[in-house]
Amino acid sequence: MSNALTRTDFHFPGQQEVYHGKVRDVYTIGGKYLVMVTTDRISAFDVVLPRGIPYKGQVLNQIASRFLDATADIVPNWKLASPDPMVTAGIACEPFKVEMVIRAYLSGHAWREYRSGKRSICGLPMPEGMKENDRFPEPLITPTTKAMVGHDEDITREEILAEGLVSEEDYLKLEDYTRRLFQRGQEIAHGMGLILVDTKYEFGKANGQIYLIDEIHTPDSSRYFYLEGYEERQAAGEPQKQLSKEFVREWLMERGFQGKEGQEVPPMDDAFVHSVSERYIELYEQITGSPFQRADLSNVPTRVETNVKAWLSTH
């Protein structure tokens, strides 16, 4: 299981800079293109875990690529091509300083806030008497600030406008795009026997045009429940069957790790790494309804570099 791509250090023609994120390495080319390599790194609790997961980068990149294509009629997106199974290349945009999170159910962060006694999130009311994973009367847009390090922070629409993070005209468009993208994502998920519970979108601007950027509707950026049995599990007060990387968080928590100061990541043996890899492939097939085609892992860095350089040579 040593064929995971956990670090890249490419030098592409016209390369100006590279940004190494938690999972993605983003290369800026000639001021107009971005080459986003989705590595096999995996993070949980805002910590990058010590071992990579083979095929994870391919899974996330190809899910995002499919959903960008499936929503291009709603809002223009940054993608121009996917020159390698782990790579998306596209238009370099200036990102907005907020992420647009949208939630249809009381889950995750919203549930933790609710359980602590709060009845509003990002300035929006949450009804009394709800249980974990109940559906909201209508989806809530709960934006966050984009933190370069550490945790993103909840922010209200009023704060975004007051601080000048986004103009009112642009923010209204971002809200409209967010709702429409989420509705499309929910419709696609429903057809696959899934519920798209919550997700986040990032937007940017290039030449005055708003674009959808980064990844969308992947199990790293979204929460999915299985549709079958949802109502029965809610009625019985049972946990929902999830399709996300929640299983990785649960494995860590069972071993006493939640990303808190002084805690050490438990050792990840080959069997666990393999099980996570297989789980991500299962996620891909469930979300897309298509069989996963495993890319050649014999020399991943060379494969990626060759494919990207071939694309760049035509641009």
How does strand 194-206 pair with strand 24-29?
A: unpaired
Domain stops at, among 161, 192, 226 = 226
Q: How many domains does the chain have?
A: 2
The conformation of residue 151, written as its DSSP 8-state character, comes to: -
Which one of 173, 192, 226 terminates a domain?
226
Q: What is the pLDDT of residue 247?
A: 85
Give the mean pLDDT of the chain: 95
pLDDT at 246: 79
- The first and second tokens of residue 238, run together, are 């049972």
In-domain check, residue 134: yes
When computed from its CA atoms, the radius of gyration of the chain, rounded to whole angstroms, is: 19
The average pLDDT across 89-93 equals 98
Examine residue 252 and state whether it is found in any structural domain, yes or no.
no
Give the pLDDT score at 245: 81
- Whole-prediction pTM value? 0.92
Residues in the chain, how many? 315
- Whether 236 is covered by a domain: the verdict is no
Assigned domain for 131 exists: yes
Round to whole Å and give the CA distance between 200 and 212: 11
pLDDT of residue 1: 45
- CA 176 to CA 49: how far, in whole Å? 36
Where b means 16+ CB within 10 Å and e means fewer, 261-284 reads eeeebeebeeebbeebbebbbebb
**Mean pLDDT on 147-164:** 85
Percent of the chain whose pLDDT exceeds 90: 90
Residue 149: pLDDT band (50, 70, 90) is: low
- Rounded alpha-carbon distances, angstroms, from residue 255 to 68, 109, 250, 266: 37, 21, 9, 7
Q: Answer with the one of 226, 254, 284 that is the final residue of a domain.
A: 226
| pLDDT reported for residue 262 | 92
Are 60 and 86 found together in one domain? yes
Q: Supply 52's token pair.
A: 């990579």
Residue 242 falls inside a structural domain: no
Rounded Cα gap, residues 83 and 309, in angstroms: 9
Same domain, yes or no, for 210 and 116?
A: yes
Residue whose pair of structure tokens reads 């929503």 in the numeric block: 71
pLDDT band at 133 (very low <50, low <70, confident <90, very high): very high
Q: Are residues 71 and 135 in the same domain?
A: no
Any idea which of 53-67, 123-137, 232-246, 299-313 has the lowest mean pLDDT? 232-246
Name the band, by pLDDT with cuts 50, 70 and 90, for residue 171: very high
**Winning range, highest mean pLDDT, from 122-131, 240-249, 252-261:** 122-131
Considering only residues 247 and 110, tell me which one the structure prediction assigns the higher pLDDT: 110
Question: Can you give the pLDDT at residue 42?
Answer: 95
Task: Residue 61: give its domain's CATH number.
Answer: 3.30.200.20
Helices (H), the chain: 56-70, 108-115, 157-162, 168-191, 230-235, 246-254, 270-288, 300-312
Same domain flag for 189 and 73:
no
Name the one residue in this structure whose structure tokens are 């996300």.
244
For residue 162, the enclosing domain spans: 95-226
**214 and 276 both lie in a single domain:** no
- 137 in a structural domain: yes
If you average pLDDT over residues 93-97, what whole number do you get?
96
What burial class does residue 44 get, using C-beta atoms within 10 Å of its C-beta: 0-12 exposed, 13-18 middle, 19+ buried?
Answer: buried
Examine the domain organization and report whether 20 and 37 are in the same domain: yes
pLDDT tens-digit map of 197-227:
999 999 999 999 999 999 999 988 999 999 9
Nearest to 92 by CA among 31, 36, 37, 148: 31
